[in-house]
Each structure stands twice: as structure tokens, then as C-alpha cells.
Amino acid sequence: MRHEIIDPNQFELTDKVVSIKRVSKTVKGGRTMRFTALVVVGDGNGHVGAGLGKATEIPEAIRKGKEDAMKKLICIPMNEDASVPYDFTGKFGGASVLLRRAPLGTGIIAGGPARNVLEIAGIKNIRAKSLGSNNKQNVVLATLEALKQMKSPEEVARLRGKSVEEILG
């Protein structure tokens, strides 16, 4: 289910700019300034992706970041409370993000970059804790890594050759 190629045109995608950084390169004639934009896109219904765009102007960097994010869309499993099926930790670089299930009515309890990903993904009830590095790019990618590795109860049951009732208890 999650490993199939997702066509971005079949969803009504919204995007959110997580960070814009000004980067410079020193060349013979002086410094050349460029911008890097980290953009998260999703449909608010279990599909989310993040991308990086680099350009000499901010709007162009955002557009490129959005295009990159559309190519990297993933499908995430959610339970009936619009939360994740179980607790999980995602790691990317020096950043770790702990995602914990939450009951209905909790809302999104998460810090900046992780919150952006979870909101765009359509998760309504979750607790997340960012551990290790505070680098926005690594926190976003660690959150996506955690969501990517999660399996729905149906997938786990199929892999183990059991019924969903046996898995859930």
C-alpha cells in the first residue's frame, strides 16, 4: 500500500514552508547569495512529503521545494482516532523524533518542524517529542522516516499470517 508510486495530481495538496535559509558561496568576484526552502506538502488525509528547493530568489526556491516534495509523497497509516497506530521513534542524522499515540481530543502536541509535518499529513491527535539535533531539516526528515516505517494493523497481520483481531488482542 505505502510503497506504491503516488500520483500527486490525484490529491488536493496544500503546502507549508518550514524554513528559508540564505546561503552564500564565495567566488572570485565576491559572494553569490542563494536561498534554500524546506517545504512540506500533503492532502490532510494521510499523504505527506517534504522537499528542498534551492534558487537565487525565494519564490523560485519555494516552487522547487514544493515540486521536490510532491515527488516524495508517502502514505501513512492512521487509526480511528486520527492518530498513529502505535508509538515509534524516527531517526535522521542527529535528530530523533518520538511519536506517541493519543486519544481523541488531544490535538497535536509537537514542536515546530514536526508539527508542520503532522498537521499537513492530517493527523489530529498525537504527542511528539523532538530529541537530539534541532536542525529543522533533520527533524522534518526524522518525522517522515517514523511515519514511513509505520505499518497499519492490516499490514502487520498480513506479514505475520494472522488475523487483525489476533494482532490487536
Domains 8-74 and 77-162 share a fold: no
User: 70-107 pLDDT, tens per residue?
Assistant: 999 999 888 888 888 889 999 999 999 999 999 899 99
User: 13-46 pLDDT, tens per residue?
Assistant: 899 999 999 999 999 999 999 999 999 999 988 8
If DSSP states are collapsed to H, E and C, what string results for 86-126?
CCEEEEECCEEEEEEECCCCCCEECCHHHHHHHHHHCCCCE
The pTM of this model reads 0.88
For the chain, which residues make up each domain, given as ranges?
Answer: 8-74, 77-162
CATH number (3.40.50.970, 3.30.70.270, 3.40.50.720, 3.30.230.10) of 77-162 reads 3.30.230.10
User: 106-157 pLDDT, tens per residue?
Assistant: 999 998 899 999 999 999 999 999 999 999 999 999 999 999 998 888 888 8
pLDDT category, 5, cuts 50, 70, 90? low
pLDDT of residue 4: 56
- Residues 69-86: b if buried by 16+ CB within 10 A, e if exposed: bbebbbbbbbeebebbbe
As a CATH number, domain 8-74 is 3.30.160.20
